[in-house]
Amino acid sequence: MKEFKITYFFDEVHYVRRFIFIESQQEAEKLVKNERDQYISFTDSRGIYHELHTKHV
C-alpha cells in the first residue's frame, strides 16, 4: 500500500488534507474522481471529523 495526500482547498487560505492508503496512483485518482460532486467524510490524524461536499472545494 502507498500513501497519497489529497488536499481540498476552500479558498486561498483554508484547506483540509486527507491521507489515503491505496495500491497505486491510478486507483487514488479514480477514487477522487468517483467522489466528485458528493459528500465525503473522514477523520484526520488529530481525530477531527470532516464532512464536506467535493463540489464546493
3-class secondary structure, 34: helix
pLDDT reported for residue 25: 97
Domains held by the chain: number: 1
pLDDT reported for residue 47: 92
CA distance 14 to 46: 17
- Taking only the tens place, the pLDDT of each residue in 38-55 is 999 989 888 999 998 988
- Taking only the tens place, the pLDDT of each residue in 16-34 is 889 999 999 999 999 999 9
pLDDT at 57 exceeding the cut of 90: no
Domain around 45: 2-56
pLDDT reported for residue 16: 87
